[in-house]
Structure 1
Amino acid sequence: MKKNIDTMQQILDTGQNLIQERGYNAISYADVAEQIGIKKASIHYYFPAKQDLVQAILKRYRTEFMTGLNQIGRSSDSPEENLYRFFQYYRDPLVENAKLCLCSMMAAELVSFPMEIRDEINGFFRDNETWLENVIEQGREMGILDSQISSKEQSQIIMAFVQGAQLLARSSGDLQYYDMMVRNLLKNLNILTSP
């Protein structure tokens, strides 16, 4: 039984890595099987269709990502620290083989997906926006964040920003570019102090 769980985890891990590096439409079961060293039939045993595999990858990614964000929120009462760590969370995949956030990578191909996959990707972004909205609202209540727009609108702007910043940093191959953009956004948010 453990071997089955290990194989399934390897398939999920490898599929996720390949999608983050190449995109959904650029990978196949043959690619995943080759990297793991198994037959394609083994993948079909766990995930009969590519959609099944991708949905499982997305659900796991969304859960793990939000668990990470919620840990950030629990470990600090500082909204500015939480925002800074949010941006670091999106920076981490860039360090590892210049990968993008899984949902950012897949959003570019959204029209080619069935509705279940689209819903999972859009749900991921909504979850992030809700988390950000709470952090921004907390910063306003504490008097350390000043913005002329609603917390909801600000959270949507930050999500659009971080997706674009990841993409541009990846294409330029320059993490300092990402860091510079984040520093400037934090200044523009009128955060009185920064971590």
Structure 2
Amino acid sequence: MELSTSEKILDVAQSLVVVGGYNGFSYADISDAIGIRKASIHHHFPTKAALVAVLVERYVGRAKDGLNSLRNNVADPANQLEAYLDYWQKCVLDASQPICVCAMLASEMQMLPDEVAGLVRRHFQNLMEWLASVLRDGEKQGSFRLDASPEQEAQIMMAIVHGALLSARAAGQPRIFSSIVGPHVARLRS
């Protein structure tokens, strides 16, 4: 099935956001990549803020669906966490998925339009809630030992994962991801 023009625009915009952030692309970049006029892009997305808001909303929905799928299809909380971390490890190793769009945009939070910033915050809230529930369930089952509340541990895990992604990307050494994340997971499992 062929993608609609708006989906093509969103896909190209996502790849540009991942590489250069909110301010790192223009409609001209999208126009060149897809081979359509800038006016056509404006027809679908009147402003850059509107385009990126739809892009982030789509990303947030897909991420939430993915996390819910892990919750529904993987019974053990330790295996849910492992699957989540494996996704990002694979992303770093083979570049099969881009770095987290919301992580990239979060680095520009003060410069983002309010509607985009709110959606980025929603992504991190959803992720924190999911991780906290996994950690809470794992603690109840004896798979994890938490030194702080599940919410605090989830915040720590998010910071470690996103920091490890950036470190691996900056160094051009994918194995850095597991060398950073692994000791933290080992602490949780002890």
Say whether the fold is shared (TM-score over 0.5). yes
Assess, with a 3 A threshold, how the Cα gap between structure 1 residues 64 and 116 changes in structure 2: closer, same or farther.
Answer: same
CA distance in 2, matches of 1:145, 1:98: 28
RMSD over aligned CA atoms reads: 1.7
| Mapped partners of 1:30, 1:41: distance in 2 | 10
Residue aligning to 2:66:
68
User: 1:92 deviation in Å?
Assistant: 4.3
CA deviation after TM superposition for structure 1 residue 99, in Å:
3.5
Counterpart code for 2:108: E
Are 2:60 and 2:123, in contact at CA under 8 Å, matched by a contact in 1?
yes
Matches within 5 A, 1:49-88: 49-88=47-86
| Deviations, residues 13-67 of structure 1 (Å, cap 9, x unaligned) | 0000110112111100000111111111110000000000000000000000110
TM-score (norm 2): 0.94
Is the contact between residue 11 and residue 32 of structure 1 (CA under 8 Å) also seen in structure 2? Answer: yes
Corresponding position of 1:35: 33
> 5 Å matches for 1:146-185?
146-185=145-184
Flag structure 2 segments of 5+ consecutive residues without an equivalent. Answer: none
Q: What does the per-residue CA deviation read over 1:65-96, in whole Å, with 9 as the maximum and x for residues that have no partner?
A: 11011111111111111111111233344332
Which amino acid counterpart does residue 35 of structure 2 have in structure 1? G
Encode CA deviations 1:113-167: one digit per residue, 9 max, x unaligned: 1211111001100000000010001001101111121111101111111111111
Q: Which has the higher contact order (CA 8 A, sep 6+)?
A: 1
Tell whether the 8 Å contact from 1:82 to 1:135 is kept in structure 2 after alignment. Answer: yes
Distance 1:106 1:92, change over 3 A: farther
Aligned 8 A contact 2:78 2:138 in 1:
yes
Alpha-carbon distance between aligned partners in 1 of 2:64 and 2:97, rounded to the nearest angstrom: 21
After TM superposition, the structure 1 = structure 2 runs for residues 54-133 of structure 1, keeping only pairs within 5 Å, are: 54-94=52-92, 95-96=94-95, 99-133=98-132
- Residue identity matched to 1:162: V
Structure 1 stretches of 4+ with a deviation exceeding 2 A read: 88-99
Once the two structures are TM-superposed, the CA of residue 97 in structure 1 deviates from its matched residue by 7.3
User: Normalising by structure 1, what TM-score?
Assistant: 0.91
